[in-house]
Structure 1
């Protein structure tokens, strides 16, 4: 497994960022490849994701870690991915969003239909940075 850690500062209160993170239906607005998303109960999400030249259903389990504003998630099927979002208030109007993503480049390549070997870590890093920028924009609107 490879681990990627990224962070971004958002000009919004921590509560605003936390609420946005839990709006599963809005994941297509800030997660590349997600074309539809819906919550199933408090701890599951169903995502329709476009990758590898087709549309695939992916289910994920979501876990909140109390008042610490930490949410973890892990795919139940589809590409094996797991991650954690930690939201830290910097002051009343600013939040640091930290993301830790764990993935296997070889398995991710297989899920994406890539025949040329593992997905380069730079491609994953660029996608995650772009997703965080979109998340920031949503929180600041």
Structure 2
């Protein structure tokens, strides 16, 4: 598995930034190569994306979600990936977003792209586009304020 960690500062309050991030079906608006994200229920998403010139589909499970703090996921079918996005208030109108992601490149094209830093640049660009997406709106496109906790790690 490969690992990426990227950070960006967004000029918006933490609740607005978090609320927008929970609108997963809007991801194609700012994520390069993402064609569709369909929310199946509170915890499950179906992704369709172009990666390395090939169409890929996978399902992901949100296993940890705390309003204004974090969203963590892992794939349960298809392309192996997992990660977490943290939201850290800096000032009343500034939020630090930290994205940590683990993924497994498949095939020669993806492995070569990974060596050349393509995935890292793509994630960095996605965060920049997210920043502009949320900063250009008076209001976020929606919000989900529920919590999800990993039952596998509960006592």
TM-score, structure 1 length as denominator? 0.85
1:120 paired residue number: 115
Matches for 1:1-141 after TM superposition, within 5 Å: 1-67=1-67, 69-104=69-104, 108-110=105-107, 114=109, 119-120=114-115, 122-141=117-136
Deviates more, 1:77-86 or 1:47-56: 47-56
Provide the aligned length of Structure 1 versus Structure 2: 136
Unaligned runs of 5+ in 1: none
Measured in 1, the distance between the counterparts of 2:69 and 2:129 equals 20
Question: Residue 115 of structure 1: CA displacement?
Answer: 7.8
Measured in 2, the distance between the counterparts of 1:59 and 1:115 equals 19
RMSD: 2.0
Measured in 1, the distance between the counterparts of 2:111 and 2:129 equals 29
Q: Is the 8 A contact 2:28 2:35 kept in 1?
A: yes
Distance 1:52 1:123, change over 3 A: closer
TM-score, structure 2 length as denominator? 0.78
Aligned residue for 2:99, secondary structure, equals strand
Unaligned runs of 5+ in 2: 137-155
2:148 paired residue number: none
Measured in 2, the distance between the counterparts of 1:99 and 1:116 equals 21
